[in-house]
Structure 1
Amino acid sequence: MKVGLIGFGKTGKAVASVILQNKKFSLSWVMKRSQTLENRTAAEYLGIDSEETGKIYSTASTSITELLDNQPVDVIIDFSSNSGIYAYGEAASERKIKIISAISHYTNKEKDYLKSLSNLTTVFWSPNITLGVNYLLFASKFLKKIAPWVDIEIIEEHFKGKDGISGTAIKIAEALDLEKEDINSVRAGGIVGKHEVVFGFPFQTVRLVHESISREAFGSGVIFVAENLVDKKEGLFNFEDILSPYFAV
């Protein structure tokens, strides 16, 4: 499967590393905003021995339409910013290229735009694309369904510089019919990401915890999602759509 990666920050680099080391996937190119590293390759920059080099391009020098026409891909993976979708969305959907977005925060405007793109191609969006945290979300919903009266608190921990409440924590809160005020945020050091859901029963406590040990976890999640989207047609999908069949008895 040929992949184009949008965004090459800390997480984007980790995702590129995972893709480059997976024999089933080919990192065709990387697109980033600045011209730093332009014309170098992701494999060389990351020190990975791979036949698929993942040449780095800048939006300042190369248009996305030019890139997609000259180096077509099967899927675009987005780890850029909430506005990045506008730069490539239309061009990708017109060419039937699948879109996997892992942007934490989207406004209703971006969500509506994703929906419109899904009329032409397969679109997937998850504010946290790790498999583990989405399993935690599933398990939390099941426990809440069993005991709808239980007390619930959400704790999210991330690195010191992360702005705003975790998009994943907000998604967990929404799934459990909780408010943002029920989310407790911790910002300290270089914590990659930790989410904990505490269920307070009268005589017992259940804690569901997911912790990202390294950003490569996002790369593994991307691989899992891409493999499960192979046979999907046009439409907007999320992790629940992908995981539900695995829970069928």
Structure 2
Amino acid sequence: MKVGLIGFGKTGKAVASVLLQSKETNLQWVVRKSHNLEHRSVPEFLGIDSDEPGYIYSSEEFDAEELLERFPVDVIIDFSSEHGVHYYGEAARNRGVAVVSAISSYSAQTVAYLRYLAHKTRVLWSPNITIGINFLIIAAKILKSIAPHTDIEIVEEHFKAKPEVSGTAKKIATALGLEDEVIKTVRAGGIIGVHEILFGFPYQTVRLKHESITREAFGNGVLFAAKHLYGKSVGLYSMEDLMIPYFNAGPAQAG
């Protein structure tokens, strides 16, 4: 599966390293706004032994139509910003190139634009694309359906410089039908991301907790998303859409 990556910040670099080490993907290119590292090889820059091209281009060097004409891909993976999709969206839609977006927050207008793209191609948007977080959300929804009147608190921990409330925590609150006010925040040191959902029963407590140890966790989620999106019908998908079938798989058979 040929992939292109939009964005090459800290998380983008970690995702690129996972893609380069996967046998299921072939990294064709990376596009970023800056001219820094232009035409550098991502494998060489990251010190990964790979024969995949993975060259870095500036978004000012090519428009997306020319980029996809010269270097076609099966899926575009977006770790840039809310505005990144407007660079490649029309070109991906016209060519039926799948889109995996891991942008933490989109405006209502941009979500509407994703839906527009999804009329002609497959689009997945997940504010947190780690497998663990999305498993946690599904499990929490199941537990709430079992015990709808349980006390629920959400705690999110991140690095000290992160100013806003975690978009993932807000997604958890929305998924559970809760207001953002239930979210408790902790800011300390260099914590990459910890999310915990506490269910307070009268005689027991259940804690569902996920911790991102390194940013490569996002790369594992991208691989899962790209693999399971491949071959799907056109439409807008979430990670939950791709993971729910595993919850319905039934009990494992005895060996």
Aligned length: 249
The Cα RMSD (Å) is 0.8
Task: Identify the residue that residue 51 of structure 1 maps to in structure 2.
Answer: 51
Alpha-carbon displacement from aligned partner over 1:90-138 (angstroms, at most 9, x marks no partner): 1111110000000001111111000000001000000000000100001
Unaligned segments of structure 2, at least 5 residues: 251-255
Question: 2:180 aligned with 1:180, yes or no?
Answer: yes
- 1:62 is displaced (CA, Å) by 2.2
Residues 70-219 of structure 1 aligned to structure 2 (within 5 Å): 70-219=70-219
1:234 and 1:90 mapped to 2: Cα distance?
A: 15
Alpha-carbon displacement from aligned partner over 1:12-65 (angstroms, at most 9, x marks no partner): 000000000111210000000000000101111100000103000001222222
Change (3 A) 1:206 1:124: same
Task: Identify the residue that residue 10 of structure 1 maps to in structure 2.
Answer: 10
Normalising by structure 2, we get a TM-score of: 0.96
- 1:86 is displaced (CA, Å) by 0.8
Unaligned segments of structure 1, at least 5 residues: none
Structure 1 runs of 4+ with >6 Å offset: none
Does the Cα contact within 8 Å between 2:63 and 2:87 map onto a contact in 1? no
2:144 alignment partner AA: K
1:95 and 1:75 mapped to 2: Cα distance?
A: 11
Does the Cα contact within 8 Å between 1:44 and 1:53 map onto a contact in 2? no
SS at the partner of 1:103?
Answer: coil
Percent pairwise identity? 59
SS at the partner of 1:217?
Answer: helix
1:154 alignment partner AA: I
Does the Cα contact within 8 Å between 1:7 and 1:80 map onto a contact in 2? yes
1:23 and 1:246 mapped to 2: Cα distance?
A: 23
- 1:85 is displaced (CA, Å) by 0.8
- 1:162 is displaced (CA, Å) by 2.2
